């Protein structure tokens, strides 16, 4: 075999059939991006569709089946690409899922992390952002419009990006960190997380102007797959889940999360008892109060019975 090398700043690999050193019909190619030392690339089969992503794997597996995907410490956890109100209130959220602080800055190259797909934003270099374990940071196209539309807990960092907007028709939103330098002495950015969302099936469509956001279900699992995303009622729902996790009140958690799931599911059912309501901006529908109360107490009974059985 002829010796060869692979570049850490990314390149293309070709597999071609041949007979007696003469190339024949079959050819397959794969492009890969920049990588950090020790990072293996490989195919990951998505359980939702059976399709494949060529991504960073959690471990090298020479002459064996590929390991699972490598999920980095900072992930994209929520996307509101088409708000029901002001379009400039669009936002997305990043989350530190690790148990350690993560600074979005590379001191060796004196460069900050940045978004390399979807929007253009580079994190501060003079005062680098350090995300603590479990911290969520919100990025929005317009802080005034965001604040007029949503409420977040005091102390939440909200950042306004400068260039670009989230596509209402779906696109790839990608976060990168500084990596190797290419032959032109240009820093290449290594993918940290990417979500290629869509407003069409099999992705849930209600976030496309309907009010909910795309919310990641299992935040520590692979995120570039529609099966790990659902529709929730905007950023309030994300922070409510975080509050419930911190309180540790199992019964309250179970009851309210039950209610959130059931109520969200019912918002898509035209056969449920709804009433029209009006706020300052538009007509909307809400669940009939008597039916809502009945459903709540039914849920309380079921959760209470389950907890008594298991605990």
pLDDT, position 215: 96
pLDDT, position 153: 87
Using the predicted structure, report yes or no on whether residue 260 has a pLDDT greater than 60.
Answer: no
Using the predicted structure, report yes or no on whether residue 12 has a pLDDT greater than 60.
Answer: yes
pLDDT, position 271: 47
pLDDT tens-digit series, residues 111-150: 999 999 999 999 999 999 999 999 999 999 999 999 999 9
pLDDT, position 54: 87
By the 8 A CB rule, do 113 and 139 touch?
Answer: no
Cα angle: 149, vertex 153, 156; to 5 degrees: 90
pLDDT, position 185: 87
Which residue intervals of the chain are DSSP H helices? 143-149, 235-247, 250-266, 289-310
Q: Considering the entire predicted model, what is its pTM?
A: 0.72
pLDDT, position 170: 95
Q: Is the peptide bond before 202 cis (omega within 30 degrees of 0)?
A: yes
DSSP letter assigned to residue 114: E
SS3 letters across 126-182: CCCCEECCCCEEEEECCHHHHHHHCCCCCCCCEEECCECCCCCCCEEEEEEEEEEEC
pLDDT mean across residues, the chain? 80
CA distance 254 to 19: 64
pLDDT tens-digit series, residues 36-83: 777 888 889 998 999 999 888 989 999 899 999 999 999 999 999 999
pLDDT tens-digit series, residues 81-113: 999 988 899 999 999 999 999 999 999 999 999
| Residue 192, C-beta contacts closer than 8 angstroms, at least 6 positions apart | 72, 74, 113, 175, 176, 177
Unique residue bearing structure tokens 């041949």 = 18
Torsion of CA 257, 263, 264, 267, to 10 degrees: 180
Read off the pLDDT of each residue in 158-169 and give the average, rounded to a whole number.
94
Residue 228, H or E segment: none
């Amino acid at each position: 075999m002829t010796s060869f090398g692979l570049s850490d700043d990314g390149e293309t690999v070709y597999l071609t059939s041949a007979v007696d050193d003469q190339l024949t019909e079959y050819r397959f190619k794969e492009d890969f991006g920049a990588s950090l030392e020790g990072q293996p690339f490989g195919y990951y089969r998505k359980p939702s569709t059976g399709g494949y992503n060529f991504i960073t794997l959690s471990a090298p597996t020479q002459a064996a089946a590929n390991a699972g995907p490598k999920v980095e410490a900072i992930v994209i956890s929520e996307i509101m690409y088409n708000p029901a109100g002001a379009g400039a209130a669009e936002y997305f959220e990043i989350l530190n899922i690790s148990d350690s602080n993560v600074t979005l800055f590379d001191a060796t190259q004196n460069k900050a992390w940045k978004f390399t797909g979807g929007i253009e934003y580079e994190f501060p270099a003079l005062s680098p952002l350090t995300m603590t374990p479990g911290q969520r940071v919100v990025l929005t196209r317009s802080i005034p419009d965001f604040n007029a539309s949503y409420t977040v807990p005091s102390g939440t960092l909200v950042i306004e990006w400068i260039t670009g907007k989230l596509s209402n028709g779906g696109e790839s939103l990608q976060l990168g960190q500084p990596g190797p330098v290419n032959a032109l002495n240009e820093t290449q950015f290594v993918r940290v997380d990417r979500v290629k969302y869509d407003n069409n099936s099999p992705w849930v469509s209600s976030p496309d102007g309907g009010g909910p956001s795309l919310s990641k279900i299992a935040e520590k699992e692979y995120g570039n797959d529609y099966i790990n995303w659902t529709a929730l009622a905007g950023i309030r729902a994300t922070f409510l889940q975080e509050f419930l996790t911190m309180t540790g009140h199992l019964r309250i958690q179970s009851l309210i999360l039950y209610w959130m799931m059931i109520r969200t599911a019912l918002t898509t059912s035209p056969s449920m008892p709804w009433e029209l309501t009006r706020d300052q901006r538009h007509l909307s529908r809400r669940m009939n109060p008597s039916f809502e109360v009945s459903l709540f107490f039914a849920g309380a009974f079921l959760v209470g019975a389950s907890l008594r059985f298991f605990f």
